[in-house]
Amino acid sequence: MLVEDIFSKRKHVVHYDDKIIPTRAEVEEILRVGYSLATSKQKAYAYKFWILGPNKERSHMLWEMAEGRKIDVDYEAYGTTTGDKKYVANPALFHLKSSPWTFLITPRTSSPNPHFKYAFESAASKWQLEDRDFVNTKNRESNAIDVGMVAKTISGAALEKGWDVSYNICFQNEKSKWPKSLPFISDHATGFRPVMMMTLGKGKKYYYERLISDGTIANDPKYNTDPPFETIFEFWDETES
């Protein structure tokens, strides 16, 4: 199967099917395949996937937290609240509510493998990824690139097996707002705030279907599109000449 065939299957989920749920073994196989296809700067993999299995109450709580963050942002910007007549819950976050499997991805401290330990010691160079403060505050951009790459390979492995995935970066950044039941985030001394959340299951309703039902796509097929290729990619040498 061509890579285009695999990734063209991805659709953002609004609601997951609560009857068709991948098993733990199926999820682990997907993660192992995705991990084997990813890479990381200096093979540090300075992130951790916390795998949360089927738990409807917890999934609902995670959705409430994400929607709460959206509400906070809107209030700070416009003063709107849930009581405002313009308030609408973000349907792009609904996948969190019904997801059977949720991955909370955080940074982690990481020691060098034997190759890079030797290389760094031989060059009297500092390996920074064992420094918790550096990992939690100064390495997040680099870490996000690594997380994005593995999230994509995991997505491909899931899509090839007929499952669906969706993503979320709308969450509370303050660790104190996370429940104690998730100490790998909420613990003051050892927790890390997430880089990304990812959900996996069998989609029952997708975001694009919502756009069809409200007439958006039918009335304006250019409404929900990506920026033009030329906006994102520019051949600089040709521009200069």
Residue 212 lies in a domain: no
Number of domains in the chain: 1
Domain assignment present for residue 234? The answer is no
Tokens 């192992």 map to which residue? Answer: 32
Write down the residue that tokens 């951790």 correspond to. 48
Q: Is residue 227 part of a domain?
A: no
87-91, 175-179, 201-205 — most confident range:
201-205
Give per-residue pLDDT as tens, 90-146.
999 999 999 999 999 999 999 999 999 999 999 999 999 999 999 999 999 999 999
Quote the tokens at residue 74: 């809107």
pTM (2 decimals)?
Answer: 0.91
**Per-residue pLDDT reduced to its tens digit, 183-221:** 999 999 999 999 999 999 999 999 988 877 776 666 665
**45 lies in which domain range?**
3-207
- Decide if 225 is inside a domain: no
- Which has more confidence, 153 or 174? 153
Is 126 a member of any domain? yes
What do you get for the CA distance between the two ends of the chain, in Å?
Answer: 40
For position 53, what pLDDT does the model report? 97
Question: What pLDDT score was predicted for residue 181?
Answer: 96
Q: Residue 166 belongs to a domain with what CATH number?
A: 3.40.109.10
Alpha helices for 44-88 (secondary structure H):
56-78
28-79: pLDDT as tens digits: 999 999 999 999 999 999 999 999 999 999 999 999 999 999 988 888 888 8
- Residue 240 covered by a domain: no
What pLDDT is attached to residue 72? 87
For 167, the enclosing helix (H) or strand (E) is strand 164-168
Helix (H) or strand (E) holding 200: strand 196-201
In a domain, 232, yes or no: no
- The burial class, CB within 10 Å (0-12 / 13-18 / 19+), for 233 is exposed
Q: What is the reported pLDDT for 213?
A: 73
Cα–Cα distance measured from residue 100 to residue 110, given in angstroms and rounded to the nearest whole number: 29
226 in a structural domain:
no
